[in-house]
Amino acid sequence: MTLYKLAYYCQAWHLVWEDKLLADADFHAWGSGPVNPDLHASHRGTFKISEVPGNPDIFDEDEKREYRQCCP
């Protein structure tokens, strides 16, 4: 559940700071918290995640530079 909540908060804070969505992802209100059904389906029953599919090219150069500054 931590993964789903982190994804939800990343989406929410990016929307607040940048006024645009971080990813094209829908979140649903489940009893245990916010969940993205696609993320849930791809990791269901997995307790250790070694690879996260995605496209890092969706970030512009400013976003990549900010990430490198805060998370070396």
pLDDT digits (tens, 9 = 90+) for 23-50: 888 898 988 888 888 888 877 776 665 6
pLDDT band at 7 (very low <50, low <70, confident <90, very high): confident
Helix or strand (DSSP H, E) at 35:
strand 33-35
Q: How far is CA 8 from CA 1, 22, 69, 70, 72, in A?
A: 11, 10, 23, 20, 23
Global model pTM greater than 0.75 = no
CB 28 within 8 A of CB 34: yes
Does the pLDDT value for residue 72 go beyond 60?
Answer: no
**From CA 65, how far away is CA 72, in angstroms rounded?**
10
Where do the domains of the chain lie?
Answer: 2-70
